[in-house]
Amino acid sequence: MKLRKALIAGILLNLFTLPAHAGWFDWLFPPSDYTKTKYPIVMIGGFMAFDDILGIEYFYRIPDELSEDGATVIPVNLSAFNGTESRGEQLMFELERLAAIYKTEKFNIVAHSGGATTARWVAGVDPTHIASITSVHGGHKGLDFADWVWDVSKQLDNSGDLGSATKDTLATLFNLFGAAVEVLSGNSTSDFPQDAMAMLEDYTTEKSLQFNQDFPAGVPVSDCGEGAYQVNGIRYYSWGGTSIFTNALDPLDYFFMVSDQFYDGASDGLVGRCSSHLGMVIRDNYSMNHVDAMNHIFGMHGLFTTDPITLYRQHANRLKKAGL
């Protein structure tokens, strides 16, 4: 009896005196290789993209969660506001650089929002370093909200000098905001130039349809179907959401309540349900809005909202099982 008590006491003592960085849970249940993909995962953002600002990640907590179970995760910075081609050139250069650093030929790209079309541009121009592209709430057939804003900008252009000056001033303010994002991220504004109007135009329906003709890989032929799962050796995946207001404490939810009014069907506040389709559609109606998909703001999604971290973990395992 005394020996049994001593053993129990010893186990309890060890549990509560483990090194602080280890944690008793990890000691009892060591991390697995659940998310350990063959190729490193490169994560890129869309509108207002950054890798991290003052230690706050664009994909909040997600890279660490994936890394804990074996994945090699590399958040990549691109211009916060710029056109698809300009951001694509930046990504292409970065993949070349990372391939040398990590001594790997290919990467799994996981891209949120406009980052998905950026990755598609690279896949069409130079697919050398891409094993897969996963679109998270990407708008592949345009954004109704972008159409409205672009129409307003054209009306300002046509309304005389005051209207044109107003449009130019707003564009300058957005470009300055993008430059501030680069500075706070510790990046050079010369390496990551800003062009908010180019980004806006690229996500109109008209420009998106033109882009899809030039870069059709993975894009559904039907209005709301799936695209080719694999093209030129690159696998294509996507998922999206259709919830707008998921947490009263998240200020962006109130913006999405307004922006959603421009959509005839379901959307995540910025991207329509069918516009999010690319390649294999994992699901297009998760209970998430556009920013919940990156686990922001600071993970403040609602009680009944889909947990984004779980989705990324499951997808890393999906890539692993596919040999990627």
At 19 the pLDDT is 39
Q: What CATH number does residue 77 fall under?
A: 3.40.50.1820
Tell me, yes or no, whether 124 and 25 share the same domain: no
Tell me, yes or no, whether 69 and 2 share the same domain: no
pTM as predicted: 0.88
Q: Which of 137, 290, 301, 315 is catalytic?
A: 290
With cut-offs at 50, 70 and 90, classify the pLDDT of residue 94.
very high
Q: Which of 250, 260, 268, 284 is catalytic?
A: 268
- Render pLDDT for 172-205 as a digit per residue (tens, 0 to 9): 998 898 999 889 888 888 899 999 999 999 999 9
Sign of CA dihedral 52, 58, 63, 65: positive
Q: Is 319 in contact with 108 (CB distance < 8 Å)?
A: yes
Tell me, yes or no, whether 182 and 130 share the same domain: yes
Q: Is 285 in contact with 311 (CB distance < 8 Å)?
A: no
243: annotated active-site residue: no
Tell me, yes or no, whether 315 and 271 share the same domain: yes
Q: Which of 51, 86, 112, 113 is catalytic?
A: 113
113: annotated active-site residue: yes
Tell me, yes or no, whether 274 and 134 share the same domain: yes
- Top mean-pLDDT range of 1-5, 96-100, 261-265: 96-100
Pick 252 or 26 by higher pLDDT: 252
Tell me, yes or no, whether 82 and 18 share the same domain: no
Tell me, yes or no, whether 17 and 95 share the same domain: no
Tell me, yes or no, whether 147 and 178 share the same domain: yes
**From CA 63, how far away is CA 83, in angstroms rounded?**
26
Structure tokens at 322: 């596919």
Tell me, yes or no, whether 1 and 64 share the same domain: no
DSSP string, 1-70: -HHHHHHHHHHHHHHHTS-TTT-HHHHHS---STT--SSPEEEE--TT--SEETTEESSTTHHHHHHHTT
Q: Range of 18's domain?
A: 1-30
Tell me, yes or no, whether 10 and 118 share the same domain: no
- Which amino acid would we find at residue 89? E
147: annotated active-site residue: no
The number of domains in the chain is 2
- Render pLDDT for 227-259 as a digit per residue (tens, 0 to 9): 999 999 999 999 999 999 998 888 889 999 999
